[in-house]
Amino acid sequence: MSESTQSALELRGIVKRFGGVAAVEDVSLAVAPGEVLALIGENGAGKSTLIQIACGLYRSDAGEVRMNGALLPAGEPSAAIAAGLGVVYQHFMLVGPLTVWENVVLGREPRRRGVGAALGLVDRDRARGEVADCAKRAGLAIDVDAPAESLSVAAQQRVEIIKQLWRGARVLILDEPTAVLSSSEADELLRTVRGLAAEGRGVIFISHKLREVLRVADRVAVLRRGRLVMTAQATETTAEALAEAVLGAAARSAEGKAVLGVAPTRAATTDARAPSPGAAAELIGRPPNLLQEADTKSAPRLVARDLVCTDNRGRPALRGLNLELRAGEILGIAGVDGNGQTELAEVLTGLRNCAGALLLDGEDGLAPHGWARDPALARARGVVHLPADRHRLALCGLLSLEENLSLGHQREEPWAHGMFIDRAGRRARANELLAAFDVRPADPLARAGDLSGGNQQKLVAARELSDLRARLVIAVQPSRGLDFHATSRVHSALTAARDAGAAVLVVSLDLDELRALADRIAVLYEGRVAGLCAPDASDAVLGPLMLGNTSAAATIAQTGAQQGRAQTEASRG
Amino acid sequence: MASSTWRQSLFAPARAPLWSALFAILCALTICFIAILATGKDAVNGYADLLQGALGGARPLGESALKGSVLVLTGLSVTVAFTVGLFNIGAEGQFIWGALAAAVVGNALPLPAFLAIPAALGAAALAGGLWALIPAWLKTARGVHEVISTILLNWVAIDLVNGWLVSGPLSVATGSADVSVAGTAAIRDEAFLPRLFAQSGSRLDLGLPIALAIAALVWLFLTRTRRGFEWRCVGAGPDAARAQGIPNARCIAEAMFLSGALAGVAGALIILGTEHRYPGVFRTGYGFDGIAVALVGGVTAPGAVLAGFFFGALRAGSTRLQLVGIHPSFAELIQGLAVLLVAAPRIFAPLLARLRGRASVSATAGVGASSEVGGAT
């Protein structure tokens, strides 16, 4: 162990410019052995650039990186790794068919001794044993013989962490590790992170979520526009103070905090909603609050009865799901990833076959040519979709922004005129939408694939949520990978669609997001609704439901649903 | 995954297609020049003759334009299939069926010219289009990769038509007691494509304006119509297109039909314009060259027109190369090199990027080994 006074990793006066733009401006940071340092800031605040400089992928324009006091040569990733710096990226780099232990040792397999060494044979037993030991020491539950592709996202992340540990990392950088996890998985990860620090490792933990940052970190550093604007002991700061630092002085308290999950109560979000839907609501062209009163008494917009379907591998995904959704309501779908959320969204948008009964305003979707049999028919009935996998399912990366905005509407005014594309109309409408949803760059000829993740999602939201006929909105992980402003933009568009009379279904792994958005929360477990809750349901209520503890669920569901409805009405009245 | 990467990068409109294609052609000409020198031949005179044969006067120009018109159509054929993300290697087979259909209809139907020519062209389009629907169906219904099926169907077409039909049932000599002669009977005079500049001795015929008009229509369709846009969406993002309600399988079938029809019409131009019958020996390679035309043309309709006429000129000029004792296959070398130089960066760029990524990963992994030893002590 090195002395505790010395920093494990230290960045001094780092400056990095791209073109004339400073991505990182004179940032100095250090993490001590045994310390968890949280690094927070918006998309584009310079977090990634800083990390890439630390691990040698970028060469900084000024400043130096030191590991245990020793200067690291700039721009040499191998030196950083040799010095014990390990990074777990958001996108995992695992070879699907290989087992966990094979993935961990890949590239530096232990050789057999003796004759085997001459032949370059891999000492499989030793490799497997070392990986299993390493996992056990760090308290990471994993089946080392399972193929990587069979693992859940959370387990794949554990493999990446084990890989770094096995390679001797003394400082671990985790890049938004909880973005892909459900809340219980995130809790598990936070415990792991504390454990790693307790063993004397330094950890840099990057996140958008202030509450978990305050739980896991010893110190918090905030980057804004490339500058370090704040560092504080986690015990001496609050989520509000951090939100202020992240968003800058201009941050309006209510909006920012709701998005950040600082104040995820019903009252705060309704307040926040009032000023924000402006642009989106105008585009939709209907006054908000139009359908508020009528809804509770009208027939439900969407009724799902006994839905059954399989996933891509033919295993049961939905196993008798029942759901009702009213116009002018946001129903949140909570649950651990892989309990049928994706399949439910695909069924409702016509992308996946299922059995059961599915009614949209009384119209049977599962009849031979019903609306849920074909995405084109679903779309024609006003079902719009913000998929989780937006690169694949929502956008053509090679086509321009205006072409992507017209996708799905390409046969309608103002996008088309007769059998031809209305190029002038398309350009005008695209410019309107890009401005209204603040897509950057607002260049209708830019390629969709060149946009950042947040702007891609804003682009999809601009297309889907400006749809005048939207009757049912299906949004899956609508804020995954988005920064605070983009999240707030997408959230306000969703609430604007709700207020304009659409029925909205939001699937999210982030309970804070659901609490901020939803009027009711349905918890999915193994392809069924395990319970319905009020939007302010605590983790103590949601947690058991998400883990399938349905014994207590019945009563919770009853009271929760009633409470939710009562509360919704109260907040609107 | 790997194939979709290079396919997408090929499909991606190049930033400056004309520019890079011109550069590639210049490089190809230079390399071929050196290759001719290396064989000890007179490259300067060879190139002069090539130029003379391609552009030196009305007749050579006519030959270039004639061959160019056919290549424009086969190039468009490959281009159209590319818009829905399919690599149609089968233009040769579709071309052959189109040629045969034109020869049969041109011979069988006693019609005036203004009907006979459209009828023969229409039959050729239908024949080529139907043949191309086979790989489209195999692709959408059975998941058979179109590169495999179109390549194999080429040989089916060649053997069925050349090996059996025109030397057997459709042969001119069938029914008579004479020795069997391969090739169909001649088409009627009314079905001949009129020559545009007959008095100058040029064989250039109505095929040129036909090809240009078709190219303009294809361009208009792909870039300006709703359906053309939907095809491009299917090519650029099949899952996104499906999720937005665009029928993938139908778009693929339509595009493959048009692709085959274009290759079929190309075959008809040869039959109606210069051969006037389906000859006993008919191996032109126009269909295969369409792949080169499409790739060098940046997989766009205007690009196919430019590249088609360039390769047409090359074909016309290459016969002259023999005058100075240079094998005409050197012209094919130019064509092949041009394709390689245009396509190579786009095929290899993602590959290189991936290799670079892998190299750095394995490098880091390798160093990680020593670090663990250090960390343990």
Reported as a pLDDT band with limits 50, 70 and 90, residue A506 is very high
Please give, rounded to a whole number of angstroms, the shortest distance from the CA of B350 to a CA of chain A.
15
Q: To 10 degrees, the CA torsion angle through A73, A74, A77, A80?
A: 50
- Name the minimum distance, in Å, from the CA of A566 to any CA of chain B: 36
Q: Does A394 touch chain B (CB under 8 A)?
A: yes
Domain spanning B64-319, CATH class? mainly alpha
Contacts of B299 (CB under 8 A, 6+ apart): B10, B11, B13, B78, B79, B82, B83
In A355-459, DSSP assigns E strands to 355-360, 363-364, 383-386, 416-417, 420-421
- In the sheet with A202-207, reading across from the earlier edge strand, the strands are A85-88, A171-174, A202-207, A36-40, A219-224, A227-233
What is the C-alpha separation between A340 and A334, in angstroms, rounded? 11
User: Which residues in chain B are closer than 8 Å to A445, comparing Cβ atoms?
Assistant: none
pLDDT of B254 higher than 70: yes
The whole-number average pLDDT for the span B272-281 is 90
What is d(CA B209, CA A217) in angstroms, rounded to the nearest whole number? 74
Cβ contact B245–A377 (<8 Å): yes
Residues A348-357, mean pLDDT to the nearest whole number? 92
Q: How far is B361 from chain A (nearest CA, A)?
A: 8
pLDDT value at residue A282: 35
- Contacts of A351 by beta carbon, 8 Å cutoff, 6+ apart: A375, A393, B242, B243
CA distance B15 to chain A (A): 12
Please say if the pLDDT value at position B121 is more than 50.
yes
pLDDT at residue B148, as a whole number: 94
Whether A95 contacts chain B with CB within 8 A: no
d(CA A109, CA B366): 9
Residue A483 pLDDT: 78
DSSP state of A74: T
Question: Predicted confidence band at B15 (pLDDT cuts at 50, 70, 90)?
Answer: very low
CB atoms A407 and B361 under 8 Å: no
Query: What number is the average pLDDT over the span A58-77?
Result: 88
Record the tokens describing residue B284, joined without a space: 């032109």
Whether the CB of A166 is below 8 Å from some CB of chain B: the reply is yes
Angle of the B17-38 helix axis to the B286-296 helix axis, nearest 10? 120
User: Does residue A168 belong to the interface with chain B, where contact is any CB pair within 8 Å?
Assistant: yes
Check A82 against B367: CB less than 8 A apart: yes
Beta strands in A76-187 (DSSP E): 85-88, 171-174
Helix (H, G, I), strand (E, B) or coil at A205: strand
For chain A, the average pLDDT equals 81
pTM for the model stands at 0.69
- Other Cβ atoms less than 10 A from the Cβ of A119: the count is 9
Q: CA A500, CA A285: separation in Å to the nearest integer? A: 9
Q: pLDDT digit string (tens) for A89-133?
A: 877 888 888 899 999 988 778 888 777 777 778 888 888 999 999
Tens digit of each residue's pLDDT (9 = 90 or more) over B318-367: 888 877 788 888 888 888 898 888 777 666 666 666 665 554 444 333 33
What is the predicted pLDDT for the residue at A408? Answer: 87
Contact criterion met (CB < 8 Å) for A398 and B8:
yes
Asked casually if ipTM beats, i.e. exceeds, 0.85, the reply is no
Element (H, E) at A15: strand A9-18
Q: What is the pLDDT of residue B363?
A: 39
Q: How do residues B41-53 score in pLDDT, each as one tens digit? A: 888 888 998 899 8
DSSP assignment of A134-145:
HHHHTT----TT
Alpha carbons B124 and B178: distance in angstroms, whole number: 30
Amino acid type, B313: A
Contact residues, A window 342-371, toward B, CB-based 8 Å cutoff: 349, 351
Q: Can you tell me the distance from the alpha carbon of A318 to that of A340, in angstroms, rounded to the nearest whole number?
A: 6
Give the count of Cβ contacts less than 8 A between chain A and B. 122
Task: Give residue-wise pLDDT tens across range B185-238.
Answer: 889 999 999 999 888 888 999 999 999 999 999 999 999 999 999 999 999 999
Contact of A378 with chain B, judged by CB distance below 8 Å, is answered with yes
Chain A residues within 8 A of B369 when measuring between CB atoms: 108, 167
H-assigned helices in A414-508: 423-436, 453-465, 484-499
Predicted confidence at residue A38, as pLDDT, reads 94
pLDDT of residue A54 exceeding 80, the answer is yes
Q: Residue B370 — pLDDT band, cuts 50, 70, 90?
A: very low
A410 contacts in chain B (CB < 8 Å): 226, 229-230, 233
Q: Which among B11, B236, B371 has the least Cβ separation from residue A168?
A: B371
CB spacing of A394 vs B240 below 8 angstroms: yes
- Asked if B373 lies within 8 A of A168 by C-beta distance, the reply is yes
Say which residues have a Cβ less than 8 Å from residue A380's Cβ, sequence separation at least 6. Answer: A371, B245
| Strands laid side by side in the A383-386 sheet | A383-386, A472-476, A503-507, A330-334, A520-525, A528-533
The pLDDT value given to residue B328: 80
b/e for A41-75, b at 16 or more Cβ within 10 A? Answer: bbbbbbbbbbbbbbbbbbebeebebbbbeeebebe
Percent of chain B's residues with pLDDT above 90:
55
d(CA A389, CA A456): 11
Contact (Cβ atoms closer than 8 angstroms) between residue A31 and residue A202:
yes
Residues from chain B that touch A107, judged by Cβ atoms under 8 A, are: 361-362, 364-366, 368
Residue B243 and residue A385: Cβ atoms within 8 Å?
Answer: yes
Query: In order of start, what are the domains of chain A with their CATH numbers?
Result: 1-84+170-262 (3.40.50.300), 95-168 (no CATH), 269-394+469-572 (3.40.50.300)
Cα separation, A92 vs A104, in Å, equals: 12
Inter-chain residue contact A82 with B8, CB threshold 8 Å: no
